Amino acid sequence: MNFAIIPDIHASMDRLTKSLEIAPSHQLIFLGDLIDGGANPGKCDDLSVLETVKALVDCGRARVVMGNHELNAIMFHRRSNEYNLPFRPHKAGNLQQHKSFIDTFGIETEDALYWTGWMLENFPLWIEYDEFRIVHACWSSRAIDIIKARRPDGFLKFEDLYEIACGETPFAKAVEMLTSGPEVCLPDGYSFRDRYGVERNEVRLAWWNSDSAFWRSAALSVPDVSELPEGKLPSKALGEIYAKEEVPVFVGHYKMTGTPKIGQSNAVSLDYPNTPCVYLFGGEA
């Protein structure tokens, strides 16, 4: 079977249409983050994107993994039975990130609950075939084993949401690993400024690059890597690096720049916001 692997759509019907044109007859797998237009909510159409993808899922032609934006939306529009508070706070930053969806469906409305309920019921945290693997942000066998102990098929339930929102248990941290990827604390005395000038002491890790064992080569989204240590990553972080002998894995999430390319033979990050990007998989090793 031939597959087309499609990265983050972020409510762009134009991007979705172009992606589908590239693969008119393939079995489709979406890498999550179908929703939320981010900086361009005026150009977004969350409803059309969701309706189109749902039709493809319903007819058996498509599957979708859970992205961090879907997980955030599920929690944003649901409340704890015990405290009657939303699992994801309705604060300014979260409202802005979720703006295009809110503009279309409102907050905790029947439509918002319908679509986020569809996501919860139909989007697993990972998909695995013999030939390749699919996850939104990071394939971590350790995290997947933790989740499988409770949810063998990778589908979350409503009763998991409070724990995920608190973010303290191994299960919650495992879910975050798959949907948002690993972040590593810098050693004492080190920090860096991101592209907005905000000082940070944690870095995202290019976990798919098995040749990146050092802070400066493994860190993502650091404008000036000279602010980072020169030495090796801690052993715990190295444990998340994807080994070269593993089967191919495809991810979105990371907003890559430049011309789309395959950086490593068995791990491909496909999220290039400026370029509709689809990987056509035909069983290659």
Q: Break the chain into its structural domains and give their ranges.
A: 3-179+246-281, 183-239
- The residue with greater pLDDT, 209 or 22, is 22
Q: Both tokens of residue 42? A: 């005026």
How far apart are alpha carbons 37 and 71 in whole angstroms? 15
**Mean pLDDT score, 23-38:** 95
For residue 274, name the pLDDT band (cuts at 50, 70, 90).
confident
- The secondary element (H helix, E strand) that includes residue 28 is strand 27-30
**Mean pLDDT score, 124-140:** 97
Q: State the pLDDT at residue 234.
A: 87
SS3 category, 29: strand
Residue closest to 218 by CA, chosen among 209, 226, 230, 227: 209
- CATH code of the domain occupying 3-179+246-281: 3.60.21.10
Whether 41 shows a pLDDT value over 60: the answer reads no
**CB within 8 Å of 109: residues ≥ 6 apart:** none
- The residue with greater pLDDT, 227 or 236, is 227
Whether 174 shows a pLDDT value over 70: the answer reads yes
Percent of the chain topping pLDDT 90: 75
Residues 61/151, Cβ–Cβ less than 8 Å: no
For residue 221, name the pLDDT band (cuts at 50, 70, 90).
confident
Whether 248 shows a pLDDT value over 80: the answer reads yes
Q: State the pLDDT at residue 259.
A: 86
**Mean pLDDT score, 217-224:** 86
**Mean pLDDT score, 167-171:** 98
Q: Both tokens of residue 182? A: 């690993």
